[in-house]
Structure 1
């Protein structure tokens, strides 16, 4: 993915990593469209960041994705990058008889079906562009589980394998598949997470991501240094230590 000169749609970018990435990409000379459910947040973003476009989209709703994709492509026919940023992270307790299933279902709906539906809505358009990118967003927890968030871990593992598989299917086309793998980052993804001292500061994370995109335009995975502890535990042969360390020090980590 080139660092500039793109037209980029980022659904789920009204806060946290998505918004920070949208602002940085816009500053690097890209046309950026931010998508989200809340009209008040979209209005605020448009006012605070002149030049960034907005569109309402609910990535848990197939009809909303379809309508938003038509609107985005009608207004921005040069669109060549889709970043499937939308996601939720919720704690679950599977040792209780009730109370976790609805959370698990919401997580799967948002974190797996959302990116699948978004990619399906845009893939044919992207294949018609000279150069295009689908950027998925998994997590370090795709590779090492956090005890508190079983369905989130599983959803991000699914996104990793979806990314690997789409890359194989789209090989030889104009569309590259790039997977962003965040570690724990100080965002409002979970309550209290913005104050989590063990998580990576958001600006520091975005600085490193932008540097990696610029220096490695043909990369398939964007991994800041902090996520490699989680990402490569199994390959290094210390997976059990990684899982123990993760769950001992970061009960609300990503």
Structure 2
């Protein structure tokens, strides 16, 4: 994607990867609008980064998505980049009882919300001279973490959707890119001090480099083995991955 002269809308932009991406793109001179549920956090990011605009959005609510999409296209007609970043990661136990309400919340936030928001904005994006839709999935889209089974499934589904949308938009001016983070040191899950978690600043630096290319998928080099999850041998591969992740640092 082009890294400058954009108007960018980022969901989940008040903390973690979303805020760091917002600040990185803002530093390059782009117009950046962030979305989140809590006005106080939106105001905090805007105050720390003059020029960033905050918009309240409940990504779980179809009516709110429609409202914000209409507001964005009216207030920011140059909007040409959508970064679907908002996500939640409750842990679960696939060997036991799965809480349906929690699972539905994961799917609404991580999968259905991004699909609905992109759908609401795709007509506007297709009318731009150039545009990009970015999905923040996960390394767990390629190899599931058993202790976050529903989360992993939601990211695998979003990865699949991005593949389909990329093909469907192949003859338009809209490109589709996917960010697949490893375990990054943020507040998404407990344990950000764990040495296995990649520092946020290092992850953002690598991701910005990747986004500056035409690569359909952007992931750090350490994830290549997970991305190449070996076909019919994946059962043993997934078992080994989960055994490794369950060991103490």
* Global fold match (TM > 0.5): yes
Establish whether residue 13 from structure 1 lines up as the match of residue 13 from structure 2.
Answer: yes
Establish whether residue 156 from structure 1 lines up as the match of residue 155 from structure 2.
Answer: yes
2:219 maps to 223
1:205 maps to 203
2:112 maps to 113
Shift of 1:193: 3.2
Establish whether residue 33 from structure 1 lines up as the match of residue 6 from structure 2.
Answer: no
2:134 maps to 135
Unaligned runs of 5+ in 1: none
Establish whether residue 244 from structure 1 lines up as the match of residue 234 from structure 2.
Answer: no
Q: Distance in 2 between matches of 1:246 and 1:126?
A: 39
- Tell me the TM-score normalized by structure 2: 0.94
Aligned length: 247
Q: Distance in 2 between matches of 1:248 and 1:186?
A: 21
Tell me the alpha carbon deviations over residues 151-207 of structure 1, each in whole angstroms, 9 at most, x when there is no partner: 1111111111100100111111110111111111111111x2322221111100001
Q: Distance in 2 between matches of 1:126 and 1:117?
A: 14
**SS of aligned partner of 2:35:** strand
- Tell me the TM-score normalized by structure 1: 0.92
- The runs of 4+ residues in structure 1 deviating greater than 4 Å are none
Shift of 1:44: 0.6
**SS of aligned partner of 2:132:** strand
Tell me the alpha carbon deviations over residues 129-161 of structure 1, each in whole angstroms, 9 at most, x when there is no partner: 010001011111011110101111111111111
Aligned-residue CA RMSD in angstroms?
A: 1.6
Q: Is the 8 A contact 1:93 1:100 kept in 2?
A: no
